[in-house]
Amino acid sequence: MALFEEEMDTSPMVSSLLSGLANYTNLPQGSREHEEAENNEGGKKKPVQAPRMGTFMGVYLPCLQNIFGVILFLRLTWVVGIAGIMEAFCMVFICCSCTMLTAISMSAIATNGVVPAGGSYYMISRSLGPEFGGAVGLCFYLGTTFAGAMYILGTIEILLAYLFPAMAIFKAEDASGEAAAMLNNMRVYGTCVLTCMATVVFVGVKYVNKFALVFLGCVILSILAIYAGVIKSAFDPPNFPICLLGNRTLSRHGFDVCAKLAWEGNETVTTRLWGLFCSSRFLNATCDEYFTRNNVTEIQGIPGAASGLIKENLWSSYLTKGVIVERRGMPSVGLAEGAPVDMDHPYVFSDMTSYFTLLVGIYFPSVTGIMAGSNRSGDLRDAQKSIPTGTILAIATTSAVYISSVVLFGACIEGVVLRDKFGEAVNGNLVVGTLAWPSPWVIVIGSFFSTCGAGLQSLTGAPRLLQAISRDGIVPFLQVFGHGKANGEPTWALLLTACICEIGILIASLDEVAPILSMFFLMCYMFVNLACAVQTLLRTPNWRPRFRYYHWTLSFLGMSLCLALMFICSWYYALVAMLIAGLIYKYIEYRGAEKEWGDGIRGLSLSAARYALLRLEEGPPHTKNWRPQLLVLVRVDQDQNVVHPQLLSLTSQLKAGKGLTIVGSVLEGTFLDNHPQAQRAEEVSELRPWWGGGRAGHSGRQPLSLYTCSPSHPWDQSGLRLFCHLP
């Protein structure tokens, strides 16, 4: 009820809910402005309306839709099967704790002022400076772009593996070539889908906006279908039998009857399964040794919540690539150690080597998307209240769904089915779909449309983030991407986004792309926490967030957790991401435009300088710590060049690169008379420092430069000496 509190103040809850759903959009703030500009093109501009969105429609639902994604439907069952319930629970808890701590820090920053288009980039750049903001903003842009690639790959995987397998262009001649053929199909279809989605976004975001409610409904209905299936399985489990040879799981693609022999009338005949393991269909044929030694059994793949299966799925079963998925505790007559396994036999094989850190990297993208509310602060009636409430409640809701799903999947689904990533043992069905009620197609179709919607949202949001960075002018070579169509649509940024997204699609593996975007999102969240901690510790005058339930220790804990997760997921990806951010930081520092946003890093420098000066006043300096402090009075010509540069060379030699040098010059006359010359001299001293400039004796250390105006030189020289604390 708290989510509807604002709507109930003006209208009944039901009518407000229906009206909000009719106007629901999941687009970021900049996209809404471009859509309105496009709608008003050629006609009269509509009057500006006050923001009307509340917590539920403006923050909670968009965050919910962005957090739930492809990993929940395609990989969470596999993660539970490989890691076991205990380790999967720890994994989900750590990742959800990371996003919750980040949401607390983000709420503090977002309620300290309006967050325009740019979202996390705006928060970090205005809190930590343009260097950090540009570096992390570009990393977040790359993460959002690769997220689009991940969603598109998920869409193609659902299309080819579960909806229309016959659409595959590349066919494998044998079982060992199926993985390579699937990757090539992903590349071809992924490129086509990316082109279509980019075209839709280019034509206009209003078309993306029209389907926002459909995509949201697909996500919610799919999750409800999973819970309904869990409840139904407790008293009426679905019928999804799986076939085992010994303890080895068999793929259902090549046979129908789970038996070696069958009865036809009064005659014993061999089955299609026999033909897959033997040289012929006759009883005297030569068969595979393991097939001969072991029996074929059939068990239920979904025993249900009341089966007591949870005890068997508590612990991990990590696999190496090419290993057959086996059921623990099942009797089996093994072969000699080192005996080769024929990859063409209809076994369910592990397609990759799995370990805990890899699973963390694959799972983490499923908890991202917490910035959806803060990006829309301009559309909210009361952003100071809606952003913290909606974001934290959305994270709490999704965390509860993920944690409960881990336990329920382990309690309802057989372990070998959980470890079967593509559902080969259950007739090629989506594993989570086998648990859903009333039909597996609810999950398949719902996940297909939800991943399509998430891909469109990524291709809509990423170009606008790049446009916000480009328009700030902190990265000179990106300024071209700040331009676009007449209504502000970022055309060039969309083109670059599509090209980068194509790189992720050419990788073609969802499991390879997920850890890449995990790095960029974790780096962004880490700096959001750092920004909140720095602002809190500095106690800057403009740091007055309305959200009060934050503390710098929580921000540091969130920052440490993000950094730890980066190296847990992949230490080499973490180093590469930090190297990219470091290079961008140094480039902005060297070539970027000077921006003064009152950021925390400059405030930190000021606090450090103040602390050092106060420490110096505590007593006279020791002889060992003495440094020369020189005041150099020079004469400048009309172009503000030093008339006697040899003085600077001599001063450089005297102080030998140590100490402090103040270079001063006196403009004769009053300040009112010489104001233009004094102002020009200050500008020239900033653009072309006196010190060095290629002259001999350049020490690499720029001195302080001072200009002053005085009717007489002796009087102003005394003033300069007094200012510099010199006798």
Question: Tell me: the pLDDT tens digits for 406-432?
Answer: 999 999 999 999 999 999 999 989 999
What band does 147 get if pLDDT is binned at 50, 70 and 90? Answer: very high
Structure confidence at residue 695 (pLDDT): 39
Q: Which residue has the higher pLDDT, 638 or 50?
A: 638
Q: Distance between CA 436 and CA 417 in Å, rounded?
A: 15
DSSP string, 559-600: HHHHHHHHHHH-HHHHHHHHHHHHHHHHHHHHHSPP-----H
539-593 pLDDT tens trace: 877 788 888 889 999 999 999 999 999 999 999 999 999 999 889 888 887 876 5
Reported pTM: 0.84
Structure confidence at residue 698 (pLDDT): 43
261: its two tokens: 């022999």
237-293 pLDDT tens trace: 999 999 999 999 999 888 888 999 988 877 888 999 998 999 888 888 899 999 999
Please give the average per-residue pLDDT across 193-222, as a whole number.
85
What band does 294 get if pLDDT is binned at 50, 70 and 90? Answer: very high
Structure confidence at residue 7 (pLDDT): 47
CA angle (363 as vertex; 361, 368 as ends), nearest 5 = 100
Q: Distance between CA 565 and CA 518 in Å, rounded?
A: 9
What band does 213 get if pLDDT is binned at 50, 70 and 90? Answer: confident
371-404 pLDDT tens trace: 887 766 666 778 778 889 999 999 999 999 999 9
Structure confidence at residue 536 (pLDDT): 87
Q: Residue 13: is it exposed, middle or buried by C-beta count within 10 angstroms (0-12/13-18/19+)?
A: middle
Q: What is the average pLDDT value for the chain, to the nearest integer?
A: 82
Q: Distance between CA 205 and CA 212 in Å, rounded?
A: 11
Q: Distance between CA 53 and CA 57 in Å, rounded?
A: 6
Peptide bond into 438 cis (omega under 30): yes
| Predicted confidence (pLDDT) at residue 511 exceeds the cutoff of 90 | yes
Buried b (16+ CB within 10 A) or exposed e, 464-476: bbbbbbbbbebbe
Among 52-56, 260-264, 314-318, 479-483, the least confident range: 52-56
Structure confidence at residue 424 (pLDDT): 92
| Predicted confidence (pLDDT) at residue 80 exceeds the cutoff of 60 | yes
DSSP-derived secondary structure letter, 380: B
Structure confidence at residue 694 (pLDDT): 38
| Amino acid at site 394 | A
Distances (CA, A) of 310 to 155, 306, 429, 509: 31, 9, 22, 31
Neighbours of 37 (CB within 10 A): 15
| Predicted confidence (pLDDT) at residue 45 exceeds the cutoff of 80 | no
Q: Which residue has the higher pLDDT, 559 or 33?
A: 559
